[in-house]
């Protein structure tokens, strides 16, 4: 039944995926009245509403935009922002937006690389969750409830306040909102030991298309499966997650070793590819690659090996000396600290800085940026590395981060969650371009350079599909609002592989009219409203 239905979906590729909204600014008074009608006296929604006439509107909108590409005067702005302060505000926003034909965009931390959590091409409302950020930690049962607007920094700090031997496997950036980060998969330096964030989520609260609050039991296992890695914004609004905490040692070790081509980086990178996914699961070594100025003039490649080890220096040195000798790791390279402090290390914050810096919700500086992703299934030969180095030195302004897989990531079945990139991958690539200069010509140049390096990597990465990571949102691989179902079929397979079909069927069941929609959302099977 599923296969035949999915064949029907793909046979109707010429039909657009989204409702062409007739709503406009004229809908706003009715929408606002609807919100008021659904407001609870004990939790008045009026305090959470911002319109362009409100003096704080721009500040609220801009405060959680993490990519300056979407701060230009030409960027479409929401008709209304609802900065929900209570779950009833979320329910009212969903019900009233649906009633009055307004699209909603759901924002928790604002880190969507393509701005899909706060930008749309049709009249829309931003449902902002930054006020919903409570965290309740139960060390005795090794669990926690985390609201979707809480940041990773707040979560890590909260865990550390209660325990030095517990943590959670999630991302490195402390200002990431848990709502979006978890629902895209959520990976970090402990994924080889404990898997992804979604592999450690045991319950959730979700507002569905009818405004109901559902937990795991009431939403059912299909929907609970879908929101853990399939992009919950296609299915509803996540209010909170229940997570399993994981054990960490009282002392962990970090290091950063840098080598240029002149210092033997190519040989070290070659060995890293062979061993990084097979090392002890307590050890995660990320490889950063950038074009830099060479000492004698011209350009070279700097390879940065940055690591977290769930243990102390002596054991780490024994492991690397045996399994990764070309790195040449020395005791002086290693720094011991608490697990919570390791998150400061990854952001070059000096050791000894109070860990309450993790509570800062605003990044140190905003930038223009573009990201792309890839997966690699077999080591790239030296000849291939030399092709890559040459291209990077010519392009100059685009770097890469290679993140090792293996360990627990290879043990979890590809169908366990919508995130399918498990066994068979030795590392994941993130392409990264950052810039400070404004202007469309500058932006287009950086976008072009990023795409150029991505093209150079084509022979060395996964194929059919060319896999991509949902948390590294990349509109280049498909926009269903412009390309309809052909675009959805491409990005759906790239992000989710064979899990895309199950996601489509769940979407059809829980949101057949495609209310929860964006440029890369999961489409329902026909019929649906157009």
Q: What is the 3-state secondary structure (H, E, C) of 43-85?
A: ECHHHHEECCCCCCHHHHHHHCCCEHHHCCCCCCCCCEEEECC
Helices (H) then strands (E): counts for the chain: 17, 18
Q: Are 241 and 146 in contact (CB under 8 A)?
A: yes
- Contact status, residue 234 vs residue 516, Cβ threshold 8 Å: yes
- Measured distance CA(309)–CA(305) in Å, rounded: 13
- Residue 472 annotated in active site: yes
Q: Among residues 472, 491, 495, 528, which one is catalytic?
A: 472
Alpha carbons 152 and 169: distance in angstroms, whole number: 10
The count of other CB atoms within 10 Å of the CB of residue 439 is 11
Question: Across the strands, what pairs with 226?
Answer: none
Token reading at 195: 């898997």
DSSP string, 163-193: -SSEE----S-TT-BHHHHHHT----TTHHH
**How many other CB atoms are found less than 10 A from the CB of residue 365?**
7
Two tokens, residue 302:
């700097």
Torsion sign across C-alpha atoms 306, 308, 312, 314: negative
Name every residue whose Cβ is closer than 8 Å to that of residue 85 and which is 6 or more positions away in sequence: 43, 47, 48, 131, 132
Which residues are known to be catalytic? 472
């Amino acid at each position: 039944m599923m296969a035949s239905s999915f064949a029907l979906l793909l046979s109707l590729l010429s039909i657009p995926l989204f409702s062409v909204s007739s709503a406009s600014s004229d809908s706003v008074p009715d929408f606002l009245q609807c919100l008021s009608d659904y407001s609870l006296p004990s939790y008045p929604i009026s305090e959470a509403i911002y319109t362009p006439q409100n003096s704080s509107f721009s500040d609220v909108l801009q405060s959680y935009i993490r990519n300056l590409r979407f701060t230009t005067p030409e960027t479409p702005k929401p008709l209304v922002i609802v900065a929900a302060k209570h779950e009833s505000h979320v329910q009212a926003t969903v019900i009233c937006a649906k009633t009055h034909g307004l699209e909603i965009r759901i924002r928790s931390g604002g880190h969507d690389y393509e701005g899909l959590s706060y930008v749309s091409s049709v009249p829309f409302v931003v449902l902002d969750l930054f006020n919903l950020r409570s965290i309740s930690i139960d060390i005795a049962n090794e669990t926690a409830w985390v609201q979707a607007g809480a940041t990773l920094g707040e979560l890590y700090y909260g865990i550390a306040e209660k325990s030095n031997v517990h943590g959670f496997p999630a991302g490195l950036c402390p200002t990431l909102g848990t709502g979006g980060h978890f629902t895209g998969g959520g990976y970090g330096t402990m994924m080889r030991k404990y898997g992804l964030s979604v592999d450690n989520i045991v319950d959730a609260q979700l507002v569905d298309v009818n405004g109901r609050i559902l937990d795991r039991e009431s939403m059912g296992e299909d929907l609970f499966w879908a929101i853990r890695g399939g992009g919950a914004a296609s299915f509803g609004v996540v209010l909170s997650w229940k997570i399993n905490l994981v054990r960490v040692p009282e002392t962990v070790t970090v290091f950063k070793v840098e080598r240029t081509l002149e210092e033997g980086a190519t040989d070290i990178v070659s060995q890293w590819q062979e061993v990084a996914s097979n090392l002890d699961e307590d050890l995660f070594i990320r490889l950063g690659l950038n074009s830099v100025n060479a000492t004698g003039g011209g350009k070279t490649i700097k390879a940065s090996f940055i690591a977290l080890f769930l243990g102390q220096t002596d054991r780490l040195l024994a492991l690397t000396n045996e399994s990764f000798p070309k790195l040449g790791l020395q005791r002086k390279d290693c720094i011991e600290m608490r697990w919570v402090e390791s998150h400061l290390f990854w952001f070059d914050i000096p050791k000894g800085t109070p860990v309450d810096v993790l509570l800062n919700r605003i990044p140190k500086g905003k930038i223009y940026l573009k990201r792309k992703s890839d997966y690699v299934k077999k080591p790239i030969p030296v000849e291939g590395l030399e092709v890559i180095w040459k291209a990077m030195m010519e392009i100059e302004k685009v770097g890469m981060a290679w993140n090792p897989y293996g360990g627990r990531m290879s043990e979890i079945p590809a169908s366990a969650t919508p995130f399918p990139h498990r066994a068979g991958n030795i590392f994941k690539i993130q392409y990264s371009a950052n810039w400070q200069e404004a202007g469309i010509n500058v932006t287009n140049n950086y976008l072009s350079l990023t795409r150029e390096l991505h093209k150079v990597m084509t022979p060395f990465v996964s194929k059919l599909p060319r896999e991509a990571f949902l948390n590294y949102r990349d509109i280049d691989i498909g926009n269903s609002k412009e390309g309809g179902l052909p675009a959805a079929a491409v990005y759906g397979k790239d992000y989710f592989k064979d899990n895309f079909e199950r996601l489509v069927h769940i979407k059809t069941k829980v949101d057949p009219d495609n209310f929860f929609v964006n440029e890369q959302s999961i489409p329902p099977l026909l019929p649906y409203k157009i």
